Amino acid sequence: MKTRLRPLFTALLSCSFSGLPLLLAFPLQAAELHNAIDAKAAEIEQKVIEWRRDIHRNPELSNREFRTAKLAAEHLRKLGMEVRTEVAHTGVVGLLRGGRPGPVVALRADMDALPVTEATGLEFASKVRTTYNGQETGVMHACGHDTHVAMLMGAAEVLTSIREQIAGSVKFIFQPAEEGAPDGEEGGAELMLRQGAFENPTPDAVFGLHISSNALVNTISYRPGGALASSDRLRITVQGRQTHGATPWQGVDPVVVSAQIILALQTIASRQIDLTRAPAIVTVASIHGGLRSNIIPSRVEMEGTIRALDPDMQKDVHQRIRRTVEAIAQGAGAKAEVHIDLGYPVTRNHPELTRKMLPTLNRIAGEDRVVLVPALTGAEDFSFFAQQVPGLFLFLGGRPESVPLEESPAHHTPTFLVDESGLLLGVRALVHLTVDFLNDPEI
């Protein structure tokens, strides 16, 4: 009987109604459902690429993703979903209810671009200009968020085509401001959560992926546990006493004190924490003080970043920074203030969810193209979603086969490029992870 019905399944899946495949009223076998997913994903591959190029040509900065959000929302509405807009300013949340009751999966893509002037020479390169922090600049999708939006739109179309085969629901989250909200504004995943992105219904798991210009195209990289670092902003003000550069003993030199602080901060990572457990980084990236070569200033300001891959170590590093800075300043007769603005927490992949979904990744990409990688010291605000429910954040290869790793343009640079032939695997990954989890949600 099963052998006789398989041609009927194939014929029905090839039919269409209102532009979508005919939805079957009875469950497919797992292999048949997987084949149907792959066939639909291949069918819309070029559409995904066209979406990506359109978004790339029209990038928008954080909390200003109006056009991108409208594109995503209209697409979800055409697919017949319940759609909520203006979540965290420009965020979009769509809900697809399956043909049978069951758990809920959330899929997330970030939408914002960067203040970078594009120099790729692509036919669809961005020509957008804006003013950012008082300076004129180009705007570019220099981190691949354009591909993320396009792939999630593609996944939405594929999942809608098999709606009746889905036991549960899927939330599609198009998130603004992953790169950080403008000064004086809130945004991103944290604000989306406060405004109900995970409510009515609450997901049982959340999946996300990020394209990588370093990883080889058509590969998927993963890491259980801490996969990406926390990211906190460090600000230090050293208050001395101004004096003539020729008579430093008549004042308190905050420049020398700041130099001592910068060097001492490096010993936190190299000498004070257990690096065999997890790495941490303390970087001072800017320092400002003084106006003339012969005037010792009264004040020096520094800014930097703190990265950690373990939440407990993150807190410990914060304490050590405060103690180090304040002790050095006091010893020199100066005063120092330390401000640490909490940014993104550690992006932690739920170990059991990672283990459970690994067979899915091996099936769709091939075991030789699923790579366990070391933790990265970059940060992601997907971390806020993964704090609420079990999460899995993956890296999708985007480096062309012909480009050596050492020649691949880095993220956040004017020449950032990815191979669009890998977007199909990204769509398939999002859909297969969703369907396989909904069919077996126990972790």
For the annotated catalytic residues, the residue numbers are: 344, 420
Token pair of 228 as six digits = 């990406």
Phi, psi of 128 (to 5 degrees): -70, 135
- Nearest 5 degrees, angle CA 339-CA 343-CA 346? 125
DSSP structure class, residue 283:
E
Phi, psi of 427 (to 5 degrees): -60, -50
For residue 164, give the nearest of 14, 20, 39, 7 by alpha carbon: 20
DSSP structure class, residue 206:
E
In a 13 Å sphere around the CA of 395, the CA atoms on its Cβ side amount to 26
Token pair of 75 as six digits = 């697409």
Residues 6+ apart with CB under 8 A from 223: 349, 354, 372, 373, 374, 375
CA 175 to chain centre: 10
CA 264 to chain centre: 32
- Nearest 5 degrees, angle CA 288-CA 294-CA 297? 40
- Nearest 5 degrees, angle CA 209-CA 278-CA 306? 75
Amino acid, single-letter form, for residue 232: D
Residues 6+ apart with CB under 8 A from 335: 238, 239, 329
Q: Residue 55, Cβ neighbours under 10 Å: how many?
A: 27
Strands 370-372 and 220-222: parallel
DSSP structure class, residue 139:
-
CA distance 347 to 386: 7
Q: Is 87 within 8 Å of 60 (Cβ atoms)? A: no
Residues 6+ apart with CB under 8 A from 226: 278, 309, 310, 346, 347, 348, 375
| Adjacent-strand bridge partners of 252 | 241
Q: Is the peptide bond before 374 cis (omega within 30 degrees of 0)?
A: no
Residue with tokens 């950690």, as numbered in its chain? 308
